[in-house]
Amino acid sequence: MTEPVIKPIEAIIAETRKQIQPYVFKRLEARTPRKAGEKIARTITVTSGKGGVGKTSLVANIAICLAQSGQRVIILDADLGLANIDVVFGIRPRYNLMDVVNGDMNIDEIMIQGPSGIQIIAGGSGVSELAQLDQEKSQKLFNQLRFLEDKTDFLLIDTGAGISDSVISFCHAADQIIVISTTEPTSLADAYGIIKIISGKRPDSHVSLLVNRVDEESEGVQVHERVARVAAEFLHFPVHHLGTLPQDRNMHLAVRQQTPLMLFSPMSPAATGIRKIVSQSFHEIPETVSRDGIEGFFTRLTRFFKGGSTQ
C-alpha cells in the first residue's frame, strides 16, 4: 500500500489562495467606490537630484509626524534599483506590487505595518511592470488600488536619486513634488536639473524645495531664493519653499539604530524642524495642487511608463 503524498504547507497555502482569489477580486469590485466630493488622498513624491541628502530618512520621519498628528499614511518605496526604506525602519519587505499585479495577493496583504500606524508598500520592479500589463491585469490592479483612497490621507512616494525615467515618472504622476537638497553646489545643481526636467514635461506641477542639513536657517532660505530665482528666470516655473532642516548628529545616530528620528530623538533640532514643516505645509492644501488621489496617480504613472503624457 502506497503512502499518501503530503504536500508542503507552502504549496497548500498557494493552492488555496489561487482558488479563492477570483472571489476576493469580485468582493473588491463589488465595494462601493468613493463618492464624488469625499476626501481624496494626497499623493506626494519625494525626490532628489543626487543621493546622500537624507531623502529616505525624511520620508520616514515626515510619515511618522503626519501619523502622530492623526493622519493616515502609506509609504510607497519606489526606488526600483536600490530600495532602502528597510534601512530606516529596520524591516525587509517580503512582497511587493508585483504580487498584486500577478493576482497572487491583495493590496492589504503586501502592506507592512510600520511605527505609529503607517503602512509601507514595497514597489520594487512591480511598479515598472505596470507598462507591460494586459487589460485584465490592469483592471484587477486598479480595482484594488482605488480602495487605498479609503485607507489613507497621504501616499508618500520615495523615489530613487537622480533623473532616470522612472524617477521622473513618479514626479509627474503625483499631486505634489518635494525636492530635497543640501547647500552643497553639486546637490543644488542636481536639484535644479530635476526641477528643469519636471517643468518641461509637466509645467503645472507643484514643486517645493526642502533644504536639508543647514548650519543656519537663513542659509537654507538663501539657497531656496537662489534656486527659485533661476527657475523663474530661465524656466518660468515657480519653486515653492517647503522649509529648512538643521544639521543634526541625532539623524545619523537614528539611521545607525534603524529607528526613525521622530522616535529615536523626538526633541532633537531636526525632529523639531520636521514637525514645524509638517504643521505648516502638509495640513493645508495649496490652491495650485491638483487632487486626483491615488487612482489618478497610478493612472498617470501607467500612462507615462507606456510613453504617453501624464496629464
Task: Report pLDDT digits (tens) over 213-244.
Answer: 999 999 999 999 999 999 999 999 999 999 99
pLDDT tens for residues 160-204?
777 777 788 889 889 999 999 999 999 999 999 999 999 998 899
pLDDT attached to residue 23: 44
Identify which has the larger pLDDT, 283 or 310. Answer: 283
Phi/psi of residue 86, nearest 5 degrees: -65, -25
Taken as a whole, the chain contains a residue count of: 311
The position carrying cell 515653492 is 240
Cα–Cα dist 60/254, whole Å: 12
pLDDT tens for residues 69-125?
999 999 988 876 555 677 788 887 788 877 887 778 888 888 999 999 999 988 766
Average pLDDT over residues 142-150: 77
CB 84 within 8 A of CB 51: no
| Helix, strand, coil percentages, rounded to 5, for the chain | 50, 15, 35
- Predicted structure pTM score: 0.82
pLDDT attached to residue 20: 47
pLDDT attached to residue 85: 73
pLDDT tens for residues 244-268?
999 999 999 998 898 999 999 999 9
Please name each of the domains of the chain with its CATH number: 39-178+249-305 (3.40.50.300)
Residue 62 has pLDDT above 60, yes or no: yes
pLDDT attached to residue 9: 58
Let me know the angle formed at the C-alpha of 76 by 114 and 271, rounded to the nearest 5 degrees. 55
The position carrying cell 506626494 is 44
Average pLDDT over residues 48-56: 86
pLDDT attached to residue 172: 87
Cα–Cα dist 160/64, whole Å: 20
Torsion (CA) 130, 132, 138, 142 in degrees, nearest 10: 0
CB atoms closer than 10 angstroms to residue 128: 18
